[in-house]
Amino acid sequence: MNGEQAQVVLVAAVAAVVVGVVGLLLAWLVRRLSIRWQLGLAAVVPVAAVLAGVLAASQRMFISDDDVEVVTLVAGAATVVALAVALALSRAVTRWSLSLREEVRRVGSGSPYVGGARGPSEFRALSEELATAHARLEEARGRAARLEDSRRELVSWVSHDLRTPLAGMRAMTEALEDGMTPDPERYHRQIRVEVDRMVRMVDDLFELSRIHAGVLRLAPEAVVLGDVVSDAIAAADPVARARGVRLGGAVSGGLELVADPSGLSRVVSNLVMNAVRHTPPGGTVHVEGRGLAAGVRAAAGDGVGGDCVELVVTDGCGGIGAVDLARVFDVAWQAEPSRTPDDVTGRGAGLGLAIVKGIVEAHRGSVHAEDVTEQGVDQGGRPTGCRFRVVLPVDGPGPPDAVVPAPVPHS
């Protein structure tokens, strides 16, 4: 490159830079206007830069006036065509952006939403992300609604379950104060029973609040499942005998898993006591524990990875039904419409199974309920009992003292 050519390049570069700076300044000034202005500047600035370079070169006598005229006409025609293309493209982009804006308005509106497939790949990708966000918002809205319904239902039911024993204790204490009862000892025992029942209810509420708040802490260690089941059966045996229910179980020998001992004990005891409470006199409650290899577990479809242990509690309650099975682990759900406490079983506020689900999910496990029909059906064609199936990973929930996230309530 000789000296004259270098001067031409330098002059053209300076002219292009000046035009580019002016173009950037104009783009900044119209940044809040329609995208049409941005696209129009993107089309005009390159042509204007070429024309400015030619004019600057002509001033330095590098090209003749006739050549300048020809280049100017060519640049003018190119400018017109570039503007036409930019306007057409900006019209399409504006239309795509308006369509995308309408899609954004529909996100979280509660109406069905399907992402569009118009415009460039970036617009389509954004539309798909909006569809995903819409689905997440709807899921969050459903969770919030279920939480609110669950909260209201819990407050209503617990208020009822607290009001009833409190009213009874008040009547009994007034009778004791007035000396109107022929058997004061019986009233004292009944007051003690009601107080114990309310203490258990408060303990359940505290445990459930920790689960739902995501602050339940586990201290995993090696646990022998047979010992936990034996303790739960021994604790429930007096109640079972009082109700005339046969209670037994069998656990594979040497079956161990890593779990929080108190949490696992509460799961087993809640399931066993729940089965005893709902089994009529003469019925049977059976507890079974066994190991599951990964392949067998995968076939069951419980969603728990690796080797697991399975705990099954089968009762003779007569079945729950498909509608109620979907709610059996809901907070404060009870099978009976009446919420009158049972003096023999000391039934609480229907929080036991909700606590079971929270603790099991905290251990990365799963729990399911189903009606039992293998033993035959009665004349009405109803199942004879229920089966609660808990599957827990052998390797435990994670590191000790792990903070467990709150489980999502199910409708």
How does pLDDT run across 288-340, given as a tens digit for each residue?
999 887 655 444 445 565 688 999 999 988 777 777 777 777 766 665 544 34
Report the DSSP pairing between strands 256-259 and 221-224.
antiparallel
Confidence check: pLDDT of 408 > 60 = no
pLDDT digits 0-9 by tens, 112-143 = 666 665 667 777 777 777 777 878 888 888 87
What is the pLDDT, as a whole number, of residue 230?
A: 92
Residues 234 and 238: their CA atoms lie apart, in Å, by 8
* Cβ proximity of 410 and 291 under 8 Å: no
Average pLDDT, the chain: 76
- Confidence class for position 386, pLDDT limits 50, 70, 90: confident
Measure CA of the first residue to CA of the last residue in the chain; give whole Å. Answer: 79
Q: Sort strands 366-372 and 385-393 into parallel, antiparallel or unpaired.
A: antiparallel
Give the pLDDT confidence score for residue 109 in this predicted structure.
Answer: 66
The whole model's pTM is what? Answer: 0.56
272 compared with 202, residue with greater pLDDT: 272
pLDDT value for 189? 85
DSSP 329: T
Share of the chain above pLDDT 70, in %: 77
Rama region for 248: left / alpha / beta (φ>0; ψ in -120 to 50; rest):
beta
Helix (H, G, I), strand (E, B) or coil at 32: coil
Res 12: pLDDT: 72
CA distance 79 to 48: 8
3-state secondary structure of 398: coil
